[in-house]
Amino acid sequence: MVKRAVFPGSFDPITLGHIDIIMRALPLFDEIIIAIGVNTAKQYMWTLDERKQRIEAAFEGVKAISVKTYEGLTADFCQKENAQFIVRGLRNTTDFTYEQTIAQANDKVNGIDSVFLVCSPEYAYISSSIVRDIARNGGDFSSLVP
């Protein structure tokens, strides 16, 4: 059986922290689907097409990675894609507390297991919201994104 994982997020934008988690998860799975969630109630800084293009460019030539978009529950998307796992990156204990509850619900309701990877220390301070804040204020965020 193919071990397929989904790495979900809004990726507004994708950061070096995301890249770190994905590259470190790659040896664990046969395939990783980077899944860009679409929430119509959320206002994004970059368009869906821009986010998808940036992610595809970052992983160009990596055959085990695909990029898809979805609406609705991540666990439903996993089932549709025959993915048995969700990969999540953790920067700190706050991330763990938040992700643990979701992981337990996904397992109980949909039988989708979650795999947590602790981010590398050099990326622990990076978040998409920090990058957006820097961008909004005209700062140079190029060292935080691929």
What are the residue ranges of helices labelled H in 42-122?
48-58, 74-80, 93-110
Q: What mean pLDDT is predicted for residues 1-5?
A: 95
Q: What mean pLDDT is predicted for residues 64-84?
A: 96
Tens of pLDDT, residues 103-122: 999 999 899 999 999 999 99
What is the pLDDT, as a whole number, of residue 39? 84
User: What residues act catalytically?
Assistant: 18, 42, 91, 128
Confidence of residue 135 (pLDDT cuts 50, 70, 90): very high
Cα–Cα distances in Å, from 43 out to 26, 116, 137? 30, 27, 17
* Residue 34 belongs to domain spanning: 4-144
What is the pLDDT, as a whole number, of residue 38? 92
Cα–Cα distances in Å, from 92 out to 2, 4, 89? 31, 26, 9
Tens of pLDDT, residues 10-65: 999 999 999 999 999 999 999 999 999 998 888 999 999 999 999 999 999 999 99
Q: How many domains does the chain have?
A: 1
Q: What mean pLDDT is predicted for residues 5-12?
A: 97
What is the pLDDT, as a whole number, of residue 40? 80
Confidence of residue 95 (pLDDT cuts 50, 70, 90): very high
The CATH number for 79's domain is 3.40.50.620
